[in-house]
Amino acid sequence: FSVRRQLNSEKLLHRDLSKGKEYYQIQVVNGVDNEPYPIDFMYVTDNCEASQINIDRTITSLQSCQCEDDCTSQKCVCGAISFRCWYDKEGKLLPEFNLMDAPMIFECNRACSCWKTCNNRVVQYGVRSRLQVFRTNGKGWGVRALRDIPKGTFVCEYVGEIISDSEADRREDDSYLFDLDNKDGETYCLDARFYGNICRFINHLCNPNLTPVKVFVDHQDLSFPRIALFSSRDIRAYEELGFDYGEKFWVIKYKTFTCSCGAHDCKYNKESIHTTIENYYKRLRDEQLSISSPIDPLYNE
């Protein structure tokens, strides 16, 4: 009843935030306050690259398949470098896909001989779920599903500007950063502050219903994965979408704001955040002590 009442009170602020760039319209609604729809960013559907970013996009560097079927056989090269093709015939992740420790997915690409309708092409076709930006109670804007979403469904891609971590440190607003977790050399992240899509409005949930997966399509440069968000469980219509921002986000942000996800086991709300931060730095100290290199304490209440 409360959900129905909230829906009835909402005003349509924008019929399509993407302005036709997505397969389905992205409505913006507000039934909470007088905040207008957000206009302080450019809606894009692909990652943007700063001039100094050098991604290897040469077609000769792409591993590709020579399949003449739907790429479901073990002979598919793209499936093989992903350990296997992880999509079923409906484009959902197979039940055995490990969402807790997700492997990288290499989709078929422009160098492949297969049909563009093969099983191993999902993320490259963009958002196919009906989503809506809505005003939440206490968390600003959020995103919800307008239809039920089965577990394992590709929901949306975290799109933004690809920047180096050193560039990210120079920027004032770090609220929209997604770390690409590069292990070697220069490290990079996505910044959706100025260029982004619907994903920039997805809130943190301590009990998330979305899981990020690294996907490669138009290149296979491991330093620059695309970040695809898949449903980690069945999602009901009008349920808010969310993923886990990670501990490092809250270590940086806890003095500015705390989590309002409402989960009974929330680790980052006002009551639990200090214990979580203390445990984080204790774990860092223990790790440093194990290699005989103690660190200075960084946490002060």
Asked if residue 222 and residue 263 are part of one domain, the reply reads: no
DSSP code at position 133: E
CA dist., res. 151 & res. 157, Å (int): 16
Q: Which helix (H) or strand (E) holds 81?
A: helix 77-81
| Per-residue pLDDT band at 112 (split at 50, 70, 90) | very high
| Alpha-helical regions (H) of 189-232 | none
Which tens digit of pLDDT belongs to each residue from 201-233? 999 999 999 999 999 999 999 999 999 999 999
Residue 5 lies in a domain: no
Asked if residue 253 and residue 153 are part of one domain, the reply reads: no
Asked if residue 214 and residue 186 are part of one domain, the reply reads: yes
Asked if residue 279 and residue 163 are part of one domain, the reply reads: no
Name the residue among 69, 162, 54, 84 with its Cα closest to residue 114: 69
Asked if residue 260 and residue 167 are part of one domain, the reply reads: no
Residue 83 lies in a domain: yes
Residue 23 lies in a domain: yes
User: What pLDDT is recorded for position 1?
Assistant: 44
User: What pLDDT is recorded for position 13?
Assistant: 97
**More confident: 300 or 114:** 114
Return the percentage of the chain with pLDDT > 70, whole number: 92
Maximum C-alpha span of the chain: 62
User: What pLDDT is recorded for position 252?
Assistant: 87
Q: Which helix (H) or strand (E) holds 179?
A: strand 177-179
Instruction: Look up the domain containing 223 and give its range.
Output: 11-245
Are 99 and 74 spatial neighbours (Cβ–Cβ below 8 Å)? no
Asked if residue 214 and residue 254 are part of one domain, the reply reads: no
**CATH number for 135:** 2.170.270.10
Which tens digit of pLDDT belongs to each residue from 63-85? 999 999 899 888 999 999 999 99
Q: How many domains does the chain fold into?
A: 2
| Per-residue pLDDT band at 301 (split at 50, 70, 90) | very low
User: What pLDDT is recorded for position 7?
Assistant: 67
Mean pLDDT of 106-119: 95
DSSP code at position 151: T
| Per-residue pLDDT band at 253 (split at 50, 70, 90) | confident
User: What pLDDT is recorded for position 295?
Assistant: 52
